[in-house]
Amino acid sequence: MIKTVDLTKIFRTEEVETTALDKVNFEIKEGEFLSIMGPSGCGKSTLLNILGLLDNPSGGEYHFAGHEVSKYSERQRAMLRKENIGFVFQSFNLIDELTVFENVELPLLYLGTPANERKKRVHEALERMNIMHREKHFPQQLSGGQQQRVAVARAIIANPKLILADEPTGNLDSSHGNEVMKMLLDLNEAGTTIIMVTHSPTYADYGTRVMNLFDGQILTENYLEKFHV
């Protein structure tokens, strides 16, 4: 599904040049659950942004679903992104002025899905995340765990091939964090490819593989024998 070749990202100002990613090479097969770890500033979020087609690399190649996409325009990236990728963020990124239903519905509006189909799929996603009873509430009326469940529902609403999760448990207590990880694990077992950035070794072990980054390079990669349950 994903392959990078000497993937590089350099941020430049008038006085400073910072290498965030330094010739990163790896592959991800469809159905994997990759956990990415490393200290702050090591390039984790930069890598996730490039994999999520939110940014282009400075050099190297990025192959996604059989296409070399590193030089894609913003319009090309946006089209590929909305049809293939779901995002789950640490800060939830829900829109306060929209209800739970409307937040989850948003990706389907961008895809031009008919109203009846949108309603059916939103209700299915909310039921799956056990948050249907809050469909008319606004984000600020929900707990952190409930907001993240809504964010996961929004991420899966368009049936993406890939989910990118950036510290999805970072703002949650352990109970709600475990709940979110169980949801991600269920999605992975149903066939969705997941790439997650985390600082937690415990949550990293939910994956099928753990990659450690340091100074923009892959330090180690370990394949895991089993999931936590």
pLDDT (tens digit per residue) in 159-181? 999 999 999 998 888 888 898 89
Q: 139-165 burial, b for 16+ CB within 10 Å, e for fewer?
A: beebeebbbbbbbbbbbbbbebbbbbb
**Which pLDDT value is given to residue 226?**
53
d(CA 88, CA 207): 16
Residue 225 confidence (pLDDT) above 80: no
Residue 14 confidence (pLDDT) above 90: no
**Which pLDDT value is given to residue 224?**
87
Mean pLDDT of 98-112: 95
**Which pLDDT value is given to residue 90?**
87
Residue from 92, 207, 110 nearest 153 by CA: 92
Residue from 157, 127, 139, 133 nearest 100 by CA: 139
Residue 60 confidence (pLDDT) above 60: yes
Mean pLDDT of 51-79: 95
User: Can you state the angle between helices 100-110 and 144-156, rounded to 10 degrees?
Assistant: 20
Q: How confident is the model at residue 78 (pLDDT cuts 50, 70, 90)?
A: very high
Q: How confident is the model at residue 228 (pLDDT cuts 50, 70, 90)?
A: very low
Average pLDDT, whole number, for the chain? 93
**Which pLDDT value is given to residue 104?**
97
| Sheet with strand 33-37: strands edge to edge | 85-89, 162-166, 193-197, 33-37, 209-214, 217-223
Residue from 129, 125, 150 nearest 139 by CA: 150
Mean pLDDT of 121-143: 95
This prediction has a pTM of: 0.91
Residue 217 confidence (pLDDT) above 80: yes
d(CA 96, CA 150): 12
**Which pLDDT value is given to residue 229?**
44
For the record, the structure tokens of 100 come out as: 């739970």
Mean pLDDT of 50-76: 95
pLDDT digits (tens, 9 = 90+) for 178-199: 988 999 999 999 999 999 999 9
